[in-house]
């Protein structure tokens, strides 16, 4: 996959697809850390769920120990004794290795959700997706490109999404999301551009199909495409909530999306 000792890697993996993993996927993480060595770093998205503003009182405050919904890999990393985690209430990352502290520091409630991606780009990181290419396509650099181009402003009332967290004085605060990503189900559309630029490695990790590409080049390609076509990141699904009901430039599709949803539930 092009990953070598000393590299910085942002990894996403589905352990059931990879296979041969121990409890919580620790074998995969151990082998990845062994490959990268003392000078390498592995990072992972440790995102946590929020809720709507009217649910705020029922939400448990985010802490560094809050489990991630993003799968076995981030939770295996959170259990590692050398792990560092950022304190963003919804979009934290966890990292282990030489640059772990630098990647996670300065990423809290007042910071942009995808700012760690900028640090990964600066470190010439590689991005690995193993076993979840079809269900969770693309790379997180696209979210950073969307924010840098102001495309997150097309999302309707993002501040309605909230979490709770404890500030430096131990007080529980409410966090309102300001920069949500657009629909990642459309990110497979970038694959052709990655291939044309010769930056996409494909292969297998264990039993799983995997892709790997450099963060800096991916971001440059994504930024260029989205700057030229600001609707490129729309997915094709008529059932997608984000692309059919949560964007100002698609709000006219909301009645049809709602009708489909009501009809499906009625038949069910």
Give which of 202, 185, 210 is closest to 19, Cα–Cα: 210
Which residues lie closer than 8 Å to 170 by C-beta, 6 or more apart?
A: none
Give the pLDDT band (50/70/90) at residue 78. Answer: very high
Q: What is the mean pLDDT of residues 103-120?
A: 96
3-state secondary structure of 130: strand
**Residue 215 burial by CB count (10 A; 0-12/13-18/19+): exposed, middle or buried?**
buried
Q: Using CA of residue 139, residue 95, residue 103, residue 64, what is the dihedral sign?
A: positive
How crowded is the C-beta side of 32, counted as CA atoms within 13 Å?
Answer: 33
Q: What is the mean pLDDT of residues 92-112?
A: 97
CB of 1 closer than 8 Å to CB of 212: yes
CA distances from 37 to 1, 13, 31 (A): 17, 20, 10
Q: What is the mean pLDDT of residues 89-115?
A: 97
Dihedral angle computed from the Cα positions of residues 70, 72, 77 and 78, in that order, rounded to the nearest 10 degrees: 70
Percent of the chain clearing pLDDT 70 (strictly above): 97
At residue 26, the pLDDT reads 62
Ordered strands of the 51-52 beta sheet: 51-52, 161-166, 172-176
CB of 228 closer than 8 Å to CB of 235: no
Dihedral angle computed from the Cα positions of residues 219, 191, 91 and 243, in that order, rounded to the nearest 10 degrees: 110
Residue 101, pLDDT above cutoff 60: yes
Residue 23, pLDDT above cutoff 80: no
Give the pLDDT band (50/70/90) at residue 21. Answer: low
DSSP 247: B
Look up the pTM and report it: 0.91
Element containing residue 188 per DSSP (H, E) = none
pLDDT tens figures, 129-158? 999 998 889 999 999 999 999 999 998 888
CA distance 156 to 153: 8
Give the pLDDT band (50/70/90) at residue 53. Answer: confident
pLDDT tens figures, 216-256? 999 999 999 999 999 999 998 888 888 888 888 888 888 88
Q: How many helices (H) and strands (E) does the chain have?
A: 10, 10
Q: What is the mean pLDDT of residues 117-135?
A: 96
CA distance 26 to 229: 41
Q: Using CA of residue 174, residue 175, residue 177, residue 178, what is the dihedral sign?
A: positive
CB of 55 closer than 8 Å to CB of 161: no
């Amino acid at each position: 996959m092009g990953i070598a000792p000393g590299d910085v890697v942002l990894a996403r993996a589905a352990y059931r697809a990879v296979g041969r993993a121990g409890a919580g996927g620790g074998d995969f993480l151990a082998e990845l850390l062994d490959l990268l060595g003392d000078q390498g770093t592995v990072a992972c998205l440790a995102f946590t769920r929020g809720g709507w503003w009217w649910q705020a009182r029922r939400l448990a405050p985010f802490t560094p120990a809050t489990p991630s919904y993003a799968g076995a890999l981030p939770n295996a990393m959170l259990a590692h004794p050398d792990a560092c985690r950022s304190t963003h209430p919804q979009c934290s990352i966890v990292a282990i290795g030489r640059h772990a502290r630098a990647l996670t520091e300065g990423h809290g409630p007042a910071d942009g959700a995808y700012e760690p991606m900028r640090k990964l780009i600066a470190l010439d990181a590689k991005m690995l997706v193993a076993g979840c290419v079809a269900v969770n396509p693309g790379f997180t650099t696209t979210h950073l490109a969307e924010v840098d181009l102001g495309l997150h402003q097309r999302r309707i009332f993002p501040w309605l999404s909230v979490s709770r967290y404890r500030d430096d004085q131990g007080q529980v605060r409410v966090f309102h999301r300001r920069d949500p990503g657009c629909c990642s189900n459309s990110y497979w559309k970038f694959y052709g551009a990655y291939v044309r630029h010769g930056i996409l490695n494909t292969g297998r990790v264990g039993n799983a199909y995997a892709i790997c590409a450099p963060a800096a080049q991916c971001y440059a390609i994504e930024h260029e495409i989205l700057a030229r076509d600001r609707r490129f990141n729309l997915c094709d699904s008529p059932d997608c909530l984000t692309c059919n009901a949560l964007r100002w430039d698609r709000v006219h599709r909301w009645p049809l999306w709602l009708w489909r949803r009501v009809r499906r539930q009625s038949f069910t």
